[in-house]
Amino acid sequence: MQSIWMIRLSLLSLLVAVILGGLILIHKAFPLHPAVWGALPLHYELAIWGWLVQFVMGTAYWMFPRHLTGPGRGSPGVATTMSVLYNIGLLLLLFSSATLTLGFVFALAGRGCLALAVLLFGGLMWRRVVSYKNRK
C-alpha cells in the first residue's frame, strides 16, 4: 500500500512540476510577470525529490524480493512512517521556497525529514537483499 501512495504522489508531483516548468518556459518567450522565476526552485524540488526519487523509492519498495518469513516487505509501520516523513519533508522544502523569513528553518527541517525517510528506506531494503541460491 505504501508503494502505491508513493508512486501516486510522485506522479502528482510530476504533474505540478511540468505545469510550473511549462509556465517558466512560456514566461521566457512571452514575459508574464517577474515573479514567475520564483517558481524555479519549486520546479526543481518537485521534479527531483517529489517525482524522481519518490518514484524510484516506491517502485523499489514494491519490486525488491520479499522476506521468506514474516511480513513480506518488512514492517508496515516503518514503511508508512517512511512515506509520511518523506512527504512532510517535501512539503516543508516546498514551503521553504515560498517564505522569506523562516525559509532556512523550513528547508533544514524538510531536508532532515527527507534524510530520515531515505535512511528508513535503506533499512527496509537492506534486509530484503537476499540470495535465494544459498537458501534451503
The residues spanned by each domain of the chain are: 2-126
- Could you read off the pLDDT of 110-123 as tens digits, one per residue? 999 999 999 999 99
- Could you read off the pLDDT of 40-93 as tens digits, one per residue? 989 999 999 999 999 999 999 888 877 666 677 777 889 999 999 999 999 999
The DSSP secondary structure of the chain, one letter per residue, reads -HHHHHHHHHHHHHHHHHHHHHHHHHHHHS---GGGGGGHHHHHHIIIIIIIIHHHHHHHHHHSPPPSSSSTTS-HHHHHHHHHHHHHHHHHHHHHHH-SSSHHHHHHHHHHHHHHHHHHHHHHHHTT---STT--
Q: What is the pTM of this model?
A: 0.85
Checking if the pLDDT of 136 tops 60, the result is no
